[in-house]
Amino acid sequence: MPLFTRPAPAPTPETWTPEGTVVAQRYRALEGATVLVYTADTDRGTPRCVTACLGCTHRADRNAAGNVMTEAEAASDANVHAAACRAVSRGVPTRPDDTDAAKLIRIRLWARRYGARPHPVRLSDFNGLRVDLQRPTSWIKDVLSDIAQADRGFLAAAPADSGQGVRFTVQPFTRP
């Protein structure tokens, strides 16, 4: 064992970035918890931003009108939350194993079955889960493909209209 080796430093909430995201801003809550403003879809013209508190369960990916948030809207939400949140920092969330992370995706998809028509799946539907998932976009696409192959009555996969990639659609419950 070398004489002056040090273990790798543990990530701190103040500098931590969840895998698969780009953190745009960080806010400090009243008792020290960190509130993140982040996006996962950097290839779009206007990024869809999300806020997540690392001290409590606050997650927001939609504004008051139900639309996806811009960075300015997410920053405002994070600032309002940080000004009222009394949670202490819980540190960096533990990364779930692949099985638990896949369950989070399946639960999010399952909520989309309660309609009369098929629901298109977008990768931005999972932006609010990125702090909990801690996985890159490619991993999410692989899980979606696995679910579509295993249960076609739940999630259908078809070639995208552009000819590149795959389009996923959650199938509604069958009604008698």
Question: Mind listing the pLDDT tens digit for each residue in 132-173?
Answer: 999 998 999 999 999 999 998 899 999 888 777 889 999 998
Q: Name 151's Cβ contacts closer than 8 Å, sequence gap at least 6.
A: none
Co-location of 11 and 87 in the same domain: yes
Question: Mind listing the pLDDT tens digit for each residue in 61-106?
Answer: 999 999 989 999 999 999 999 999 999 999 889 999 999 999 999 9
Residue 176 in any domain: the answer is no
Domain finish residue from 46, 75, 93: 93
SS3 call for 6: coil
Q: What is the pLDDT of residue 40?
A: 86
Please give the model's pTM, rounded to 2 decimal places: 0.84
Provide the 10 A C-beta neighbour count for residue 91. Answer: 15
Q: How many domains does the chain have?
A: 2
Residue 126 in any domain: the answer is yes
Q: Sheet with 166-170: list strands edge to edge.
A: 119-121, 166-170, 155-159
The two most distant CA atoms of the chain are separated, in Å, by 72
Co-location of 85 and 102 in the same domain: no
> Tokens 């080796």 — which residue?
5
CB-based contacts of 62-70 (< 8 A; 24+ apart in sequence): 68/124, 70/46
Q: What is the pLDDT of residue 114?
A: 86
- Residue 32 sits in which domain range? 1-93
For residues 42 and 49, is the Cβ–Cβ distance under 8 A?
no
Domain finish residue from 59, 93, 127: 93
Co-location of 12 and 84 in the same domain: yes
